[in-house]
Amino acid sequence: MSGPIHIGSDGEWQSLLSGTTVVIADFYADWCGPCKMIAPHFERLAKEHSRPKKVAFAKVNVDNQANIARTNGVTAMPTFVVFHNGTTVETIRGANPTALTEAITKAVSLSNGGKAEDVFKTPGRTLGGDGSVPGQGRHWSVTLLINIIMMFVGLYLASLFSIDSYKAAEQSMFNPKRQQPPLKPASAAGPAPAGSARAQQQSTALQEPTGGSRSQSVEDIEKVVREAKQRFRDTLPKGYLNEEEYALYERLYGPPLRETAPEDVGIPTHADMGGQSTRVNDERTLLRQLEEGGFEEVTYRIPYQESGVAEASSGSEQPLASDSALEAIEESPGYVDAVARNPREHEALQRLMQDFKAAQKKQLEDEIAAAREEAEAEQEAYEMDEEDDFFEESEETTAELGRDMSLGETRRFHPFTLQGRFHGSPVEISLPQSGLVTPIRDLLDRTHLSHVKAAAEAAFGGQGLPTSPSTPEGRKNGQMGGVGLPPDQRHMTEIEADAFLAGYLPPAYASVTSVLREVRKRLGSDWIQQRLKKKENAGLSVLDAGAGGAGLVAWEQILNTEWDLLREKGEVTGSQPPGRKTVITGSDRLRHRLKSFLHNTTFLPRLPDYEHSGEMQGEHLDAGNKPQPRKSYDLIIASHLFLKEKQDHYRQAILNNLWTLLNKDGGVLIVIEKAHPRGFEAVAHVRDTLLKQFLLPQNGEPSIPTEELNPAFHKEREAGHIIAPCTNHGTCPMYKEAGKSKGRKDYCYFNQRFTRPTFYTKMLGNSSNNQGDVEFSYVAIQRGCSKTDQLPGWKATELAFAGYKNSKESPDMQTLPRMVLPPLKRKGHVTLDVCTPEGKIERWTVPKSFSKLAYHDARKSHWGDLWALGAKTKVSRSVRVGSGVDDGGKRAEGGKKPRKVEITMDGGRLSANEKNARKERRTKGKRERQTDLIKEILEAEDLEEQEIEREMDTEVEEELKLEEEEKQRRRRR
């Protein structure tokens, strides 16, 4: 039997209703606690009763499928609806396992040809409803007749001797419809002292059944035991059942596994029911605008360490969390009142709630104590001399540096530290909803997401999508190739195109956005704004070669920001910035999908090849008198183009082609590959080739020694420089020898955190975590413009080591060392692994005694930042680049004797034996040795058989020869 079917679209829902006789639907929500409690019960029933085309169980998420929920009138969760031939015949609202089981049992009988009006004669039940069904016939007995007579006599006597007979009969104890006053839980007033009258009443409430009689019938005991099993499953609260009840429980279900914990009854999930708790003072709210035009309130929490530092800087002593934070964890009986079915359950659940609140309160106290200790440590690290007037900045500097940073952050950090940051603010990138997430989700709604997930795993290397732009942790060593499904692939099926949208675009967008932010910081806004302000120019042109459209979406975010700034200044007019966008897509199916949200975009099936094309003038009939204009782009995003090419000359051809497409006047080329040794080597090969063959050496830096150049690829050098991540134009310290290196451990790469869309988390198989990371290696080069600061590398390293803390002028950020690993934070000092402008990997130490400001900023620095505040000591760091170029073992043979071949004659046949042959690198295993031994035995047997056959042939020939000679002698006689 199969389990419930998760509905993903309106079409799937209509198909299920039309193709199945009976459908039982569970309308639920992810945030609904009762939905989670009854979900296992519903799944068990689904596995037990599901039958193809007869009975089907469906789960409908009301948040994702609002149209289906609205059509069926769902207003509360959970709601269970029974459909017979597409028509609603029963509705159960609330988490009522008994009513649900009864309704499903009746619904199953309909699949055998029953009529709905005969099976379902009563309306659906709701949460808290009793087990009686109105309208059913009663079972008459003598006891029932006596009770009716006594009730009639009692009502008659009560109304006979009273002034208001109607009111007296209504309030009489013999009235079966009299409303009982609500029972007040025994624990509502707190635990009673031992031996008091109220403690005895509490004990009696636990031991007595609801009717108040001390003697329990077999039916009452069985009811209590079954309700205990339903509520607490395989556990039991301490002292919940008496001896008779426990004996029956043990006989029916066996002994309980353990004592009931708050988690077993859903208390941690619903502990906040019954009212809103007071916010602690480290929580803040923002209003975020929705796509429909409204606003929603977003709550965020300020980290304790930042709050502590801010308070320390202001000089006021405020507690990190007020006492209201502890008062917010007070007892909230809303959930207990909602689910308790009798005083005994209420008392047991209330005790579990108190235990949970006590544990939560202690945990919060421990967290606050730990946060206070950390804040005190941060305050001590941040204390500065009062004579230091560094933070008295001009309003213009504060406005320029704090455009993307908060005012408090600008005051706490050195401005050069903020300028050198690799990540933006906030660090986590959110994918644009209207520009990327919503269009992809709408396209994926046409297909069940499980099918898309299977296709994505088939295309991107299995679970976790290791050959997508984002490589999961632990899958880097085994998957060092390129992406599994590149956008320039000529043929894609429908499901492969959907898998590309779901598994490729989100991490590709995050990596490209991170690199574009860094390029914008290093080149400044003028690089974009100057081209936008030119009226005769058509704006900037961008080519997305390899990102499948994600690069264009990322570029639009940055371009629109600069355009809005120019509009505020009145320097440009219009709602949209001008420009041309081009993307490489080889498949028609993928192109049709991208067209739905990439507007005003040119789609090319492959890269234009101007390197091997003529001018198209004169010699061709349809060429015309003028040569065809060649395309030129201000920005080219080459994502995952080089790693998939195995041969160096193929990579060289792609690089030449991209270089001819790049604008000669300040065009920017960005190369991105996967973050593993092979991906870094592909990027480093592009960088090395550009410096050796394409770009002129920088002033004050020696030219990189050039090897023998291929005349077919030789070009005239021109001005240009590396924007990021390198701050040197010499040989990469992690790529001193070109080619693949076996056993490489250190390589240059960076990471970017982003918010995963729901469909992407389902592709990875983890729907609970929406926080993802993408790692990548990259290099960005500008053509036609040299570096602004032409300091030699050794001089720039010396100045950076001394630090620019007291410098009044901002240094050129492209002459500062960059952190290539996360900083190592130790007590009293911070260690930074940096790549210096001199082209070396060094380890700089910033102790607290060097500078309190530098020590504070070093502790808050991140991987990829540029460092401008200097250090106290530095040492060279050895780089683990492996055993050199992996050329199949030829390097290891350089110091050995030359090979010699000895030719011998064996049985009339020539054989060649090699002397001084290279030995095997690895020793053979036991299985290999056994295989070799078997081969030797078989070869020896073959040789022996051949020798025996040869001897037998010789003997036969000799016998024939003797017979022939004997015949000849006889003839002569």
Residues in a beta bridge with 753: 773
d(CA 308, CA 374): 8
C-alpha triplet 368, 371, 374: angle, nearest 5°: 155
Given this model, what pLDDT does residue 777 score? 93
Residue 162 is predicted with a pLDDT of 64
Q: Summarize pLDDT for 867-895 with one digit per residue, the tens.
A: 999 999 999 888 888 876 654 444 444 44
Q: How confident is the model at residue 378 (pLDDT cuts 50, 70, 90)?
A: low
Range from 536-540, 635-639, 861-865 carrying the lowest mean pLDDT: 536-540
Residue 305 makes CB contacts below 8 A (sequence gap 6+) with: 371, 374, 375, 378
The span from the first CA to the last CA of the chain, in angstroms, equals 99
Write the DSSP string, 635-682. EEEEES-STT--SHHHHHHHHHHHHHHB-TTT-EEEEEEESSHHHHHH
Three-state secondary-structure class, residue 369:
helix
Instruction: Measure the CA–CA gap between 178 and 346, rounded to whole angstroms.
Output: 23
Sign for the pseudo-dihedral over CA of 823, 824, 825, 828? negative
Quote the CA–CA distance of 58 and 73 in Å, as a whole number. 16
Residue 957 φ/ψ, nearest 5 degrees: -65, -40
What residues does 876 pair with on adjacent strands? 842
Report strand pairing: 829-835 vs 22-28.
unpaired
pLDDT in the model for residue 878? 86
From CA 521, how far away is CA 524, in angstroms rounded? 5
Four-residue CA torsion sign, 336, 341, 347, 351: negative
What is d(CA 772, CA 588) in angstroms, rounded to the nearest whole number?
30
3-state secondary structure of 175: coil
Does residue 394 carry a pLDDT above 60?
A: no
Q: Which of 96-105, 113-122, 837-846, 926-935 has the lowest mean pLDDT?
A: 113-122
- Name the amino acid, one letter, at 168: A
Contacts of 731 (CB under 8 A, 6+ apart): 688, 704, 839
DSSP assignment letter at 691: I
CA distances to 295, 665, 752, 753 from 426, in Å: 21, 33, 11, 10
Angle in degrees, CA 601, 602, 604, rounded to 5: 140
- Token representation of residue 496: 């492969």
Q: With contact defined as beta carbons under 8 Å apart, do 610 and 657 qualify?
A: yes
Contact 837, 868 (CB under 8 A): no
Give the pLDDT score at 201.
Answer: 40
Q: How confident is the model at residue 299 (pLDDT cuts 50, 70, 90)?
A: low
Q: What is the pLDDT of residues 107-125, one digit of tens each?
A: 888 877 767 666 675 444 4
What is the set of active-site residues?
32, 35
Before 469, cis peptide (omega within 30)?
A: no
Residues facing 635 on adjacent strands: 542, 668
> What's the Cα-to-Cα distance from 310 to each of 127, 489, 854, rounded to whole Å?
50, 53, 17
Per-residue DSSP letters for 84-119? ETTEEEEEEESS-HHHHHHHHHHHHHHTTT--HHHH
Distance separating alpha carbons of residues 842 and 155, to the nearest angstrom: 98
pLDDT surpassing 80 at residue 274? no
Cβ–Cβ under 8 Å, residues 445 and 9? yes
- Per-residue pLDDT band at 551 (split at 50, 70, 90): very high
Q: What is residue 377's predicted lDDT score, i.e. its pLDDT? A: 58
Query: What is the predicted pLDDT for the residue at 297?
Result: 52
What pLDDT sits at residue 329? Answer: 37
Q: Which helix (H) or strand (E) holds 202?
A: helix 197-207
- Two structure tokens written together for 570: 């009145």
The bridge status of strand 818-819 relative to strand 824-826 is unpaired
Mean pLDDT in residue range 811-815: 86
Domain at 495-608+629-782: CATH code: 3.40.50.150
Query: Rounded mean pLDDT of 275-287?
Result: 46
Token output for 422: 């690799």
Q: Which two tokens stand for residue 934?
A: 């078997």
Give CA–CA dist 57/7, Å, rounded. 10
Residue 122 to residue 106: CA distance in whole angstroms: 12
Residue of 424, 417, 420 whose CA lies nearest to 510: 424
Confidence tier at 817 by pLDDT (50, 70, 90): very high
Within a 10 A sphere around the Cβ of 772, how many other Cβ atoms? 22
The segment(s) of the chain belonging to CATH 3.40.50.150 are: 495-608+629-782
Q: What integer is the mean pLDDT of 538-547?
A: 89
Distances (CA, A) of 515 to 688, 725, 970: 20, 9, 104
Query: What is the overall mean pLDDT for the chain?
Result: 75
pLDDT number for residue 617 = 45
Q: Are 812 and 746 in contact (CB under 8 A)?
A: no
Least confident range from 562-571, 695-704, 950-959: namely 695-704
Tens of pLDDT, residues 692-743? 888 888 765 555 555 555 555 556 788 898 998 988 888 899 888 888 888 8
- How confident is the model over 942-955, as a mean pLDDT? 79
Bigger pLDDT: 610 vs 57: 57
User: How far is the C-alpha of 807 from the C-alpha of 805, rounded, in Å?
Assistant: 6
Above 60 in pLDDT, residue 837? yes
Instruction: Give the CB-side neighbour count of residue 277, counting CA atoms within 13 A.
Output: 20
At 785, which helix (H) or strand (E)? none
Tell me the HSE value of 222 on the side-chain side, using a 13 A CA sphere.
4
DSSP class of 163: S
3-state secondary structure of 754: strand
Q: What is the pLDDT of residues 437-474, one digit of tens each?
A: 999 999 998 888 889 999 998 998 888 888 899 877 66
Helices (H), 663-777: 677-689, 758-764
pLDDT band with cut points at 50, 70 and 90 for residue 545: very high
Q: Which residue has the tokens 């994918």?
A: 431
865 and 420 in contact (C-beta within 8 Å)?
yes
The alpha helices in 524-549, defined as continuous H runs, are 526-533
Is 80 exceeded by the pLDDT of residue 790? no
pLDDT 10s digits, 338-356: 777 888 888 888 888 888 8
Is residue 819 pLDDT above 70, yes or no?
yes
Q: Taking Cα atoms as reference points, which of 715, 610, 719 lies closest to residue 654?
A: 610
Name the 3-class secondary structure at 241. coil
Q: Under DSSP, is residue 295 helix (H, G, I), strand (E, B) or coil?
A: strand
Show Cβ contacts of residue 630 under 8 Å, excluding neighbours closer than 6 positions.
Answer: 608, 610, 660
Determine the pLDDT at residue 286. Answer: 54
CA dihedral 965, 969, 970, 973 (to 10 degrees): 170
Question: Which CATH class name applies to 5-119?
Answer: alpha beta
Q: Which of 250-259, 398-407, 487-496, 544-553 has the lowest mean pLDDT?
A: 398-407
What does pTM read for this prediction? Answer: 0.54
CA distance 58 to 837: 62
748, 732 Cβ separation under 8 angstroms: yes
Alpha-carbon distance of 153 to 75, in angstroms, equals 46
The residue type found at 235 is: T
Proportion of the chain above pLDDT 90, given as a percent: 16
Q: Are 871 and 800 in contact (CB under 8 A)?
A: no
Predicted confidence (pLDDT) at residue 15 exceeds the cutoff of 80: yes
10 Å Cβ neighbour count for 550? Answer: 30
Higher local confidence (pLDDT), 476 or 10? 10
* Spatial distance between the Cα atoms of 833 and 858, rounded to a whole number of angstroms: 12
Per residue in 609-657, pLDDT (tens digit) is 766 555 544 455 555 555 556 778 999 999 999 988 877 788 888 898 8
Q: What is the pLDDT of residue 651?
A: 85
Q: What DSSP character marks residue 180?
A: P
Residue range 58-82, pLDDT digits in tens:
999 988 888 888 888 887 788 999 9
Residue with tokens 């979406």: 553
DSSP 8-state secondary structure symbol assigned to residue 602: E
The answer on pLDDT for 845 being more than 90 is yes
3-state helix, strand, coil in the chain (%, to 5): 40, 15, 45
Sign of the CA dihedral running 189, 195, 201, 206: positive
- Would you say residue 325 has pLDDT above 70? no
CB-based contacts of 66: which residues, under 8 Å, 6+ apart?
none
